[in-house]
Chain A
Amino acid sequence: MSTELKLQARLDGELDAREAREIDALVEQNAQQAALMQELSWTKAAIAAGDVEVALPETREFYWSKIARAIEAEERKAATAAPAERSGWLKFFYPATGLAAMAAVMFVISGSRSNDGVDTESVPEDMNAVSFRSEAEKMSVVYVADEYGSFSPVGQEVKNEPEADK
């Protein structure tokens, strides 16, 4: 601490007893330091006399509580700023996920509705049937294996078969 600051501290009563004695001795021995001490003393007295005391419009507790609330508000604002940046992509992700799920459900519903029960046939238990599709000829085929022709809808007279073949 410089000598000037120690002089100011001595004037304000902020030095311990040993330092105070040292500064007092210095002032007694050094005329320049004594003049500075005198000037600081006058300045302090002038400030003390001219300083206007400001009266707060509210109580001290209320005044400081307002400051405390302002500080807390600033801290909350700072705390929410980071999640807002992080949730930027979530704002897109969540609705997009919901839309994708809804589209998938619609697709499944539409698909199952149009294909449910198709490509299956019911045949009598004593018959074997195969089914297939011909993309080229645009035909869905169900073919029954019936070596005796017992299921044939084509009459004997149409086929011109002799009676013995019946």
Chain B
Amino acid sequence: MNLKPTSNLSRWQILVLLLGLGWGFYQCTYASVPAETRVQAVLVWGTNETQPTGKGLKELDTKLRERLANIFKWRNYLEVSRNNGNVTTSKPQTLKLSEDCVVEVKILPENLAEVKFISKGKTIARRHPLGKTEALVLGGDDKNNTAWFVVVSFN
């Protein structure tokens, strides 16, 4: 009885197979959504006052302060509040930063996060790729030539 295989893969079929496997490996490695993502939101106030006397203000950690100072014009960056939590594809996370302000984080397919910043009844939404190590900064003007920032980071 002849037990040899009756069909042999051509070199092109093998190449196509390898290409498909490589693409699948890429999708699994780099484009897949992690099971759980740690998200942190920091509310920051930017001012030119040298000694702000506001209640509950803290010194912002040096690294984040320098990063903000390299982009924006204010001399001082003070931490108003900080919150963090875990977010999954099935469980969005809501981080409260002040009485009027929350950050909602939802994991989307394709390794994206949808970040909604809600303050005083208004919403800013932004999609952010989780594959990068970039932080998402939402900010705006405030009274007396000051500014607010919400720094959202994922890891």
Taking Cβ atoms with an 8 Å cutoff, the residues of A that contact B are: 95, 99, 102-103, 106, 110, 113-118, 120-124, 127, 129, 131, 133-134, 136-155, 157-161, 165
From residue B52, how far is it (CB to closest CB) to chain A in Å?
Answer: 7
B54 close to chain A: CB less than 8 A: yes
* Contact of A118 with B129 in the complex, beta carbons under 8 Å: yes
Please, could you name 15 A-B residue pairs with CB atoms under 8 Å apart, sorted by A?
Answer: A110-B31, A114-B129, A117-B127, A121-B127, A129-B124, A137-B67, A139-B71, A141-B137, A144-B140, A148-B143, A149-B140, A153-B43, A153-B150, A161-B144, A165-B144
Cα–Cα, bound, A137→B132 (Å): 13
From residue A67, how far is it (CB to closest CB) to chain B in Å?
Answer: 38
**Could you say which residues of chain A place their CB within 8 Å of the CB of B27?**
110
Q: B137 is contacted by which of A114, A120, A136, A140 (Cβ under 8 Å)?
A: A140
B128 close to chain A: CB less than 8 A: yes
Cα–Cα, bound, A157→B68 (Å): 23
From residue A134, how far is it (CB to closest CB) to chain B in Å?
Answer: 5
* Contact of B124 with A122 in the complex, beta carbons under 8 Å: yes
**Could you say which residues of chain B place their CB within 8 Å of the CB of A161?**
143-144
**Could you say which residues of chain A place their CB within 8 Å of the CB of B101?**
153
Which residue of chain B is the closest to A106 with respect to CB atoms? B23
**Could you say which residues of chain A place their CB within 8 Å of the CB of B67?**
137-139
Cα–Cα, bound, A141→B67 (Å): 12
Which residue of chain B is the closest to A147 with respect to CB atoms? B141
**Could you say which residues of chain A place their CB within 8 Å of the CB of B110?**
113-114, 116
**Could you say which residues of chain A place their CB within 8 Å of the CB of B129?**
114-115, 118
Taking Cβ atoms with an 8 Å cutoff, the residues of B that contact A are: 12, 15-16, 19, 23, 26-27, 31, 43, 45, 52-57, 67-68, 70-71, 80, 97-101, 110-112, 119-120, 122-129, 131-144, 146, 148, 150-151
Where chain A touches its partner, the secondary structure class is: mixed
**Could you say which residues of chain A place their CB within 8 Å of the CB of B56?**
157-158
**Could you say which residues of chain B place their CB within 8 Å of the CB of A143?**
139-140
* Contact of A155 with B100 in the complex, beta carbons under 8 Å: yes
* Contact of A137 with B70 in the complex, beta carbons under 8 Å: yes
Which residue of chain A is the closest to B143 with respect to CB atoms? A149
* Contact of B124 with A152 in the complex, beta carbons under 8 Å: no
**Could you say which residues of chain B place their CB within 8 Å of the CB of A106?**
19, 23
Q: Taking A99-B16, A118-B128, A152-B148 as contacts, is the C-beta distance between A157 and B54 under 8 angstroms?
A: yes
Q: B135 is contacted by which of A123, A131, A138, A149 (Cβ under 8 Å)?
A: A138
Cα–Cα, bound, A159→B101 (Å): 15
Cα–Cα, bound, A99→B146 (Å): 56
